[in-house]
């Protein structure tokens, strides 16, 4: 009869590894859910062109207009404008951001690039992170996709 006595330190290490793995999985899933949400039923999906969104031009003018996959002209100064949303970090509050879109392999409109505040544009993979703490952040309001998917909140 062999008795295996596990080293408590080793077991604690294994638990920590497990928790860390679970934590990463949660972050990845949350990031996925932020933009993908639930797939809308086939046939009723509205697109970004069907909803009114907030736009902001290079010179800081904000206006409301129908969504578009490509930048549109500012009605005040004619400069290119991008969709303007607010992400929210639980620790650092609202993060104003410009968003540009692309079609994914399934033909859905997804964020392609995000510009938080006056930072550089960067490519969006599965989620957007707070530049200060690295947490995945969700759109706090003015989420064009919530409305484009018919889930007004
Ligand atoms: Zn303008
Ligand atoms: Zn943060």
pLDDT digits (tens, 9 = 90+) for 82-135: 999 999 999 999 999 999 999 989 988 888 999 998 889 989 877 788 989 999
Beta strands of the chain (E only): which ranges? Answer: 52-57, 62-66, 72-73, 80-89, 93-103, 109-116, 122-123, 128-129, 136-141
Q: Which two tokens stand for residue 148?
A: 């484009």
Ion ligand 1 neighbours, Cβ < 5 Å = 57, 59, 61, 74, 76-77, 79
Q: 139 or 21: whose pLDDT is higher?
A: 139
- Give the ligand with the smallest distance to the CA of 132: 2
Give the ligand at the shortest distance from the Cα of 94: 2
pLDDT higher than 70, residue 41: no
Domain boundaries, given as residue ranges, for the chain: 8-148
- pTM for the model stands at 0.64
Percent of the chain with pLDDT over 90: 37
Do 71 and 117 touch, CB atoms closer than 8 A? no
């Amino acid at each position: 009869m062999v008795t295996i006595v596990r080293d408590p330190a080793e077991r604690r290490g294994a638990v920590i590894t497990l928790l860390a793995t679970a934590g990463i999985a949660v972050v990845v899933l949350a990031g996925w859910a932020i933009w993908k949400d639930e797939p809308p039923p086939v046939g009723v999906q509205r697109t970004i062109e069907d909803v009114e969104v907030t736009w902001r031009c290079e010179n800081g003018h904000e206006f409301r207009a129908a969504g578009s996959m490509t930048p549109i002209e500012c009605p005040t100064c004619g400069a290119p404008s991008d969709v303007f949303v607010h992400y929210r970090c639980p620790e650092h509050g609202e993060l104003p951001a410009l968003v540009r879109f692309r079609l994914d392999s399934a033909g859905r409109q997804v964020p392609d690039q995000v510009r938080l505040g006056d930072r550089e544009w960067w490519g969006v993979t599965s989620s957007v992170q707070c530049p200060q703490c690295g947490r995945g952040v969700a759109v706090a309001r003015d989420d064009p996709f919530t409305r484009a998917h018919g889930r007004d909140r």
